[in-house]
Amino acid sequence: MSLTWLDIGFTDLTLEQLYNVLQLRVDVFVVEQNCPYPELDGKDKHVHTRHLLGINDQQEIVAYSRVLAPSISYPQASIGRVAVAKSARGQGVANQLMQRAIAIAKQHWPDDHIQIGAQDYLRQFYEKLGFAVNSEVYLEDGIPHLDMLLTYPVIIHK
């Protein structure tokens, strides 16, 4: 699936983009997973938060993740709210989304690693991307999760 990707800060999101992002996140995390939880947690509007949008040919947002600076969710940079619309699943979109989110984190915080809180059933997907489990399984909003860390060589520029 061919998508247009936007890496954008909160204040640069249009109202329509913000609405569509929130609709996708609620559809995936609240409705599909039958999990009422505080979707709006204040991290979206942080000055350093990056929003990654995958937009299809019909101008629909079908993929989304947010990339957070160190110390917002974890001591390290982190990626969260990874969502792919049902219509885009099974086409490699999640892999593209994560590869781009990782690149954004490395671009903005090159001296750090990337931490995620992943749903346990997606463990192998994230391991294929290079993440390693660094916690026991725990329940978050009634869903089994685990923390995973992506480490990469730090390049020292002189």
> What are the tens digits of pLDDT across the range 24-38?
999 999 898 888 888
101 exposed, middle or buried (CB, 10 Å; 0-12, 13-18, 19+)? Answer: buried
Q: What is the CA radius of gyration of the chain?
A: 15
Q: Where are the domains of the chain?
A: 4-150
Give the number of other CB atoms < 10 A from CB of residue 12.
10
- The DSSP output letter for 97 is H
> What are the tens digits of pLDDT across the range 138-157?
998 889 999 999 987 644 44
Beta strand 138-140 with 143-150: parallel, antiparallel or unpaired?
antiparallel
> What are the tens digits of pLDDT across the range 56-97?
999 999 999 999 999 999 999 999 999 999 999 999 999 999
Residue 5's closest CA among 47, 67, 48?
67
What is the per-residue pLDDT for 157? 44
Instruction: Provide CATH code, domain 4-150.
Output: 3.40.630.30
Could you tell me how far CA 28 lies from the centroid of its own chain? 13
Q: Kindly provide the b/e burial profile for residues 111-120, where b requires at least 16 CB atoms within 10 angstroms of the residue's own CB.
A: ebbbbbbbbe
What is the per-residue pLDDT for 39? 86
Return the HEC string of 6-57.
Answer: EEEEHHHCCHHHHHHHHHHHHHHHHHHCCCCCCCCCCCCCCCCCEEEEEECC
**Which residue(s) pair with 138 in the sheet?**
145
Question: pTM of the predicted model, to two decimals?
Answer: 0.92
For tokens 């995390």, name the residue. 29
